[in-house]
Amino acid sequence: MPKELSAIEGMLNEQGYIANRSIAMSIFLAMRLGKPLLVEGPAGVGKTEIAKVMAKALDTRLIRLQCYEGLDATHALYEWNYQHQLLYLKMEEGKATTSTALQENIFSDTFLLKRPILEAITQDKSPVLLIDEIDRADEEFESFLLEVLSDWQVTIPEIGTITSKHKPYVIITGNRVRELSEALRRRCLYLWVEYPDFDKELAIVQGKVPGIDPQLSIQICKFMQELRQMKLEKAPGVAETIDWAAALASLHFTHLDKEIVEDTLGVVLKDWQDIRHVQDSLSELFDKVGVTKRF
């Protein structure tokens, strides 16, 4: 295993992100080849976290572009501050400013609102650009993004073309709301993140909730692993595991029992049909997890 690769793994671990080797490898290659990394996986497995941890580890800025239906270029690149421009125009009324001078003033940096992509291009040190939930944006936005990702320059008609001096590290995440275009996939390296296995999840919980009783953390993780085996509408992610562990730890529990689980199931499951379903098969679950019943 090359040194740099272990260095990245170590770096991630240091920041509290328990990465497996395929995650470390993808990040390593994406950084070395200067390509965006497209991360897909079920909700709550820590896709967004990858970008956050990367920014921390590289000690650089994290710039986030949250995608949503109807997101367009102006929200991603730049916008003129129209309100201020209008006010400025009003103020200049009656003064003897020439039309060209006025135009120059109005379309200057003062009135330019930088949106995430322009922001990322104009940094002094390569930032991490997180494009979150790209599949929520329209297909047209995706094509627009392709252009930016290949050229790293933005043209503002009134000012000119701005080219990036330091290429950002790009992390794109998706929840598979819709299928992403082949073109975007080809521009990126691809990483599929699965739910962590028991050992990894245990390490995550013990890392994130330091004061937790070891016995309790083992039971929680086993329980979560079993839950994901059940066919639920919304399988719980790692985020839920951490929430649950933190909640139970703060209540100073040392082990799971039926009552505790029933009372706190809402932390883990967010769908009422799932909750009902799990409640029905709770004793069966406990058998699998190996919790001794105390009634």
**CA-based angle 91:96:97, to the nearest 5?**
75
**Residues ≥6 apart with Cβ < 8 Å to 65:** 76, 115, 116, 117, 129, 130, 131, 132
**Residue 100 binds another protein, judged by CB under 8 A:** no
Interface with another protein (CB under 8 A), residue from 11, 17, 36, 40: 40
Nearer to another protein, 230 or 251 (CB): 230
**Residue 192 binds another protein, judged by CB under 8 A:** yes
* Footprint (CB under 8 A) of another protein, residues 57-96: 69-70, 72, 80, 82-83, 85-86, 89-90, 92-93
Q: Please provide the DSSP assignment of 217-274 as one string.
A: HHHHHHHHHHHHHS--SS---HHHHHHHHHHHHHTT--S--HHHHHHHHHHH---HHH
Nearer to another protein, 89 or 251 (CB): 89
What number of chain residues touch another protein (CB under 8 A)?
A: 48
* Footprint (CB under 8 A) of another protein, residues 214-233: 231, 233
**Residue 185 binds another protein, judged by CB under 8 A:** yes
**Residue 176 binds another protein, judged by CB under 8 A:** yes
Nearer to another protein, 103 or 161 (CB): 103
CB of 170 vs another protein, minimal distance in Å: 15
Separation of alpha carbons 80 and 100, rounded Å: 18
**Residues ≥6 apart with Cβ < 8 Å to 54:** 12, 27, 128, 169, 171
**Residue 10 binds another protein, judged by CB under 8 A:** no
CB-facing half-sphere around the CA of 281: CA atoms within 13 A: 16
Separation of alpha carbons 279 and 282, rounded Å: 5
Binding region for another protein (CB under 8 A)? 1-2, 4-5, 21-22, 25-26, 29, 32-33, 35, 40, 42, 69-70, 72, 80, 82-83, 85-86, 89-90, 92-93, 97, 99, 102-103, 106, 138-141, 176-178, 182, 185-186, 189-192, 231, 233-234
